[in-house]
């Protein structure tokens, strides 16, 4: 793997940032489209969620949408390291994330932090092949999630 072209790097990081934008906006169909030919896995949980409909349903069933139609969160993705193999039409990326949230009942604060390990493939355009989510620090997520992820 190597540095790849600027165009590939830009396309891949744009996918990563579109994910964060879709999550914050509660655009679960948009998240599904990002994984139409891909899958999401989570450290400590067996199996994968594959395809647009399954990914959309996962986010609908696990995230609390507030009265303004959003999650009232800000997902920040940082420390992005991308390795691209232009010949094989594949790439990997590692990044860190932190999620901030503020609601009428919750002052602005970080609520979750962790890492993403991503795999990408290029058919015509770059796309997510896999996003592996590693939750490393969990704070007060009662206004964000409908499920119990415990505390790391």
Residue 130: φ, ψ to 5°: -160, 140
This prediction's pTM: 0.94
Please answer whether residues 149 and 138 qualify as being in contact, where contact means their C-beta atoms are separated by less than 8 angstroms. Answer: yes
- The pair of structure tokens assigned to 76 is 């920040």
H/E/C letters for each residue in 44-98? CEEEEEECHHHHHHHHHHHECCCCCCCCCEEEEEEEEEEEEECCCCEEEEEEEEE
Tell me the CATH number of domain 6-138, given options 3.10.450.50, 2.60.40.1180, 3.50.50.60, 3.30.479.30: 3.10.450.50
Tens-binned pLDDT, residue by residue, of the chain (152 aa) = 567 999 999 999 999 999 999 999 999 999 999 999 999 999 999 999 999 999 999 999 999 999 999 999 999 999 999 999 999 999 999 999 999 999 999 999 999 999 999 999 999 999 999 999 999 999 999 999 988 876 54
> Domain-by-domain residue ranges, the chain?
6-138
Please answer whether residues 136 and 113 qualify as being in contact, where contact means their C-beta atoms are separated by less than 8 angstroms. Answer: yes
């Amino acid at each position: 793997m190597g540095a790849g072209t600027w165009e590939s790097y830009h396309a891949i990081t744009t996918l990563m940032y579109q994910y964060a934008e879709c999550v914050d906006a509660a655009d679960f169909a948009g998240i599904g489209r990002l994984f139409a030919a891909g899958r999401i896995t989570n450290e400590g949980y067996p199996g994968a969620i594959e395809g647009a409909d399954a990914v959309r349903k996962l986010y609908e069933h696990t995230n609390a949408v507030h009265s303004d139609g959003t999650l009232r969160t800000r997902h920040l993705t940082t420390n992005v390291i991308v390795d691209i193999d232009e010949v094989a039409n594949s790439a990997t990326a590692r990044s860190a994330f932190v999620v901030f949230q503020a609601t009428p009942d919750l002052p602005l604060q970080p609520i979750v932090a962790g890492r993403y390990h991503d795999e990408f493939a290029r058919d015509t355009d770059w796309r997510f092949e896999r996003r592996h989510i590693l939750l490393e620090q969990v704070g007060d997520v009662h206004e964000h999630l409908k499920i119990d992820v415990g505390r790391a």
